[in-house]
Structure 1
Amino acid sequence: MTTFDTTLGQSGGATVVEPYSGPLTRGSIIARLERLPANAMQVRARLLIGLATFFDGFDVIAIATTLPILIQKWHLTPWEIGFLIASGSVGQLFGAFLFPWFAERQGRVRAIAWSSGIIGVTSIACGFAPSFMVFAALRVIQGLGLGGELPVAATYINEVSRAHGRGRFVLLYEIVFPVGLLASNALGAWIVPRFGWQTMYFIGAMPLVLFFVLRKLVPESPRWLAERGRLQDADHAVHAFERTAKGPLDPVTNAADFDALVKRHPKRSMKDLFGPAYLKRTLAVAMLWMTCGFIQYGLSTWLPTIYRNVYHAPLQLALNLAVAASVLGVLGSLTCALLVDKVGRKPIINVSFVLCAVSLALAGICHAMSVYVVATFCALSLGLLACGFITAYVYTPELYPTSIRAMGCGMGGAWLKVAAIFAPTIVSKTMIGGNLDVAFYILAAVPFLAAITVHLLGIETKGKVLEQLEA
Structure 2
Amino acid sequence: MMEDAVQENFGRISNTRDRKTAKMRTFISFAAGMAGLLFGLDIGVIAGALPFIAKHFALSSQQQEWVVSSMMLGAAFGAIATGWLSSRLGRKYSLLIGAGFFILGSIGSAFATSVTILLVARVILGFAVGIASYTAPLYLSEMADKEIRGKLIAMYQLMVTVGILLAFLSDTALSYSGDWRMMVGIICVPAVILMLAVLKLPDSPRWLASKGRFDEAKSVLHMLHSNERKVASELLDIRESLKVKQEGWGLFKANKNVRRVVFLGMLLQAMQQFTGMNIIMYYAPKIFSLAGFTTTEEQMMATVIDGLTFVLATFIAMNMVDKAGRKPALKIGFSVMAAGTLILGVCLNLIDSGSTSTWISYIAVAMTVVCIGGYAMSAAPVVWILCSEIQPLKSRDFGIACSTTTNWISNMIIGATFLTLLNSVGSAMTFWIYTGMNVLFIFFTIYLIPETKNVTLEQIEQNLLQGKKLRDIGC
Q: Normalising to structure 1: TM-score of the pair? A: 0.86
Quote how far apart the aligned CAs of 1:306 are. 2.5
The alpha-carbon distance between structure 1 residues 212 and 345, as it changes in their structure 2 partners (threshold 3 A), is closer
Counterpart selection for 2:325 from 332, 335, 344: 344
The corresponding residue for 1:21 is none
Q: Which runs of 5+ in 2 are unaligned?
A: 1-11, 352-359, 465-475
Q: 253-262 vs 294-303, which deviates more?
A: 253-262
Per the alignment, residue 28 of structure 1 pairs with none
Contact 1:64 1:304 in 2 (8 A): yes
Deviates more, 1:205-214 or 1:460-469: 205-214
Matched, 1:459 2:450: yes
Question: In the alignment, which of 246, 256, 279 is matched to residue 267 of structure 1?
Answer: 246
**For 1:148, which of 126, 131, 152 is the aligned residue?**
131
Aligned in 2, Cα 1:55/1:255: closer, same or farther, shift over 3 Å?
closer
- CA distance in 2 between counterparts of 1:202 and 1:169 reads 29
Q: Output the CA distance in 2 between the equivalents of 1:44 and 1:122.
A: 26
Does the C-alpha gap of structure 1 residues 13 and 362 become closer, same or farther in structure 2, counting only changes over 3 Å?
farther
Shift of 1:273: 4.8
Check if 1:281 corresponds to 2:281.
no
For residues 78 and 52 of structure 1, the distance between their equivalents in structure 2, rounded to whole angstroms, comes to 31
83-92 or 266-275, which deviates more = 266-275
Alpha-carbon separation, structure 1, partners of 2:76 and 2:288: 29
Letter in 1 for 2:373: G
Equivalent residue, structure 1, for 2:367: 377
Q: Distance in 2 between matches of 1:434 and 1:453?
A: 27
> For 1:256 and 1:192, how far apart are their aligned partners in 2?
53
From the two aligned structures, give the one with the greater helix fraction. Answer: 2
1:438 equivalent in alignment to 2:450: no
Distance 1:236 1:300 in 2: 42
Number of residue pairs the alignment of both structures matches: 439
For 1:111, the equivalent position in structure 2 comes to 94
3-state DSSP class of the match of 2:145? coil
CA distance in structure 2 between the aligned counterparts of 1:258 and 1:348, rounded to whole angstroms: 29
Residue 106 (structure 2) aligned to one of 123, 139, 145: 123
Change (3 A) 1:74 1:48: same
- Name the structure 1 match of 2:186: 203
State yes or no: 1:190 paired with 2:173: yes
Does the residue aligned with 1:49 lie in a helix, a strand or coil?
helix
1:314 is displaced (CA, Å) by 0.5
TM-score normalised to structure 2 length: 0.86
Q: In structure 2, which of residues 110, 117, 121 is the aligned counterpart of residue 134 of structure 1?
A: 117
Q: Is the 8 A contact 2:206 2:217 kept in 1?
A: yes
User: Is 1:258 matched up with 2:237?
Assistant: yes
CA–CA separation in structure 2 for the residues paired with 1:257 and 1:226: 11
Helix, strand or coil at the partner of 1:366: helix
CA distance in 2, matches of 1:279, 1:460: 19
State how far apart, in whole Å, the 1-side matches of 2:290 and 2:336 are.
27
Q: Which moved more, 1:100-109 or 1:398-407?
A: 398-407
Q: What secondary structure, in the 3-state scheme, does the structure 2 residue paired with 1:311 have?
A: coil
1:249 Cα deviation after fit: 5.2
Residue 437 (structure 1) shift: 0.6
Contact 2:317 2:329 in 1 (8 A): yes
**CA separation in 1, counterparts of 2:195 and 2:242?**
38
- State the alpha-carbon separation in 2 of the partners of residues 458 and 273 from structure 1: 20
Superposition CA RMSD, Å: 2.6
C-alpha separation in 1, matches of 2:235 and 2:194? 38
What are structure 1's unaligned runs of at least 5 residues? Answer: 1-11, 18-34
Structure 1's 215 and 182: CA in aligned 2 closer, same or farther, altered over 3 A? closer
Q: Is the 8 A contact 1:185 1:322 kept in 2?
A: yes
Deviations 1:370-421 (A, max 9, x none): 3322111112112111222111222111101222323322322211211122
Contact 1:113 1:210 in 2 (8 A): no
Q: Would you say the 8 A contact 2:154–2:382 is kept in 1?
A: yes
1:67 maps to what in 2?
50
Return the alpha-carbon distance in structure 2 between the equivalents of residues 284 and 310 of structure 1: 37
- Partner SS, residue 464 of structure 1: coil
Match of 1:6 in 2: none
For the structure 1 residues 251 and 408, does the alpha-carbon distance in structure 2 shift closer, same or farther, using more than 3 Å as the test? Answer: closer
Q: Give the distance between the partners of 1:385 and 1:374, measured in 2 at CA.
A: 17
Q: 2:280 maps to which residue?
A: 299
Contact 1:426 1:439 in 2 (8 A): no
**Which 4+ runs in 1 deviate beyond 6 A?**
35-38
Q: CA deviation at 1:432?
A: 2.5
Structure 2 SS opposite 1:343: coil
* 8 Å CA contact 2:31, 2:198 repeated in 1: no
Residue number among 302, 323, 333 corresponding to 1:321 in the alignment: 302
Q: Which has the higher contact order (CA 8 A, sep 6+)?
A: 1
Overall identity of the aligned pairs, in %? 21
User: Distance in 1 between the 2:104 and 2:312 partners?
Assistant: 31
2:74–2:124: 8 Å Cα contact kept in structure 1? Answer: yes
Aligned to 2:395: 404
Match in the other structure for 1:331: 312
1:185 Cα deviation after fit: 1.1
Query: Deviation of residue 436 (structure 1)?
Result: 0.4
SS of corresponding position for 1:130: coil
